[in-house]
Amino acid sequence: MQNRIFLLLALVVLGLSQKLSAQAVLREAFPNLRFENPIELLNPPDSSDRIFIVSQKGTIYVIPNRDSFPERPVFLDIRSRLVSGGERGLLGLAFHPQYAQNGYFYLYYTRNRNNQLESVLSRFEVDTQNPDRGNPNSEQELLRFAQPFSNHNGGKIAFGPDGYLYIASGDGGSAGDPQNNAQTLTNLLGKILRIDVDQPPGNLSYAIPPDNPLVANADGFREEIFCLWAPKPLEI
């Protein structure tokens, strides 16, 4: 009886897979366009139905959501500000939930500063005269921290349904997290960070959400930390 049940289930799964495969048709989305090192494809939270494509080399492209579009207009080019290659470069883009109203978007990238590799989180604004162009002169740096190695530099950033910005920092690199960054609470590496970009106190760049797990601790632990042990997060 048990063998019959297994056989019946196998036939059902096989029939479903054949039906699904017959219905699924793969089609190249943008046959006339080519991109170097694309790492992310996003729609902004507005009514434009545009597609933003992030290149790790430091360029963001914006195109209409139709496959016949023959060009790849540049939304923003920050190649001169970063270092790319391997696991470095422009690694994350997030649109503010109120992007349609305020034009804010956030980038996470790596750069060399005083011979030190570091990760940078910055806010930019859209060009007020052209919604298909980001303003390169609008950069406001919110956060930066050193990366000891050139891999495991994190990169994914995203707004949660709570309105807070989540940042995957990476553990700083080399095999096996030799500096134990992902479990060290006094630095930001190897964590998922969570910050409030809308209500920064005083002259600070961001606030700490009141329900972050390490808020008001007396041990010097970083209050931006939301969770531990995220050595090489590619998605959050």
**pLDDT digit string (tens) for 138-166?**
999 999 987 877 777 788 999 999 999 99
**pLDDT tops 90 at residue 174:** no
Span 196-223, average pLDDT: 94
Q: Name every residue whose Cβ is closer than 8 Å to that of residue 61 and which is 6 or more positions away in sequence.
A: 35, 52, 53, 55, 72, 73, 74, 75
**pLDDT digit string (tens) for 101-133?**
999 999 999 998 888 989 999 999 999 999 999
| 107's tokens | 């980038």
Question: For the chain, where are the E strands, in sequence order?
Answer: 38-42, 50-55, 59-64, 74-77, 90-95, 104-113, 116-127, 130-146, 157-159, 165-168, 192-195, 225-227
**pLDDT tops 70 at residue 3:** no
Global confidence as pTM? 0.85
pLDDT for the residue 1 = 46
| 135's tokens | 């303003």
pLDDT for the residue 17 = 54
CATH of 31-227, picked from 2.120.10.30, 3.20.20.240, 3.30.70.1150, 3.40.50.300, is 2.120.10.30
**pLDDT tops 50 at residue 191:** yes
Which of 66 and 202 is assigned the larger pLDDT? 202
Which sequence spans correspond to the domains of the chain?
A: 31-227
Span 64-84, average pLDDT: 87
pLDDT for the residue 180 = 73
What share of the chain in percent tops pLDDT 70?
86
pLDDT for the residue 11 = 40
For residue 120, the cross-strand partners are 109, 144
What's the mean pLDDT when you consider all of the chain?
A: 85
pLDDT for the residue 15 = 54
pLDDT for the residue 12 = 44
pLDDT for the residue 5 = 41
pLDDT for the residue 18 = 55
Rg of the chain over Cα atoms, rounded to whole angstroms, equals 21
**pLDDT digit string (tens) for 221-235?**
999 999 987 767 767
**pLDDT digit string (tens) for 15-51?**
545 555 557 788 777 777 888 899 999 999 999 999 9
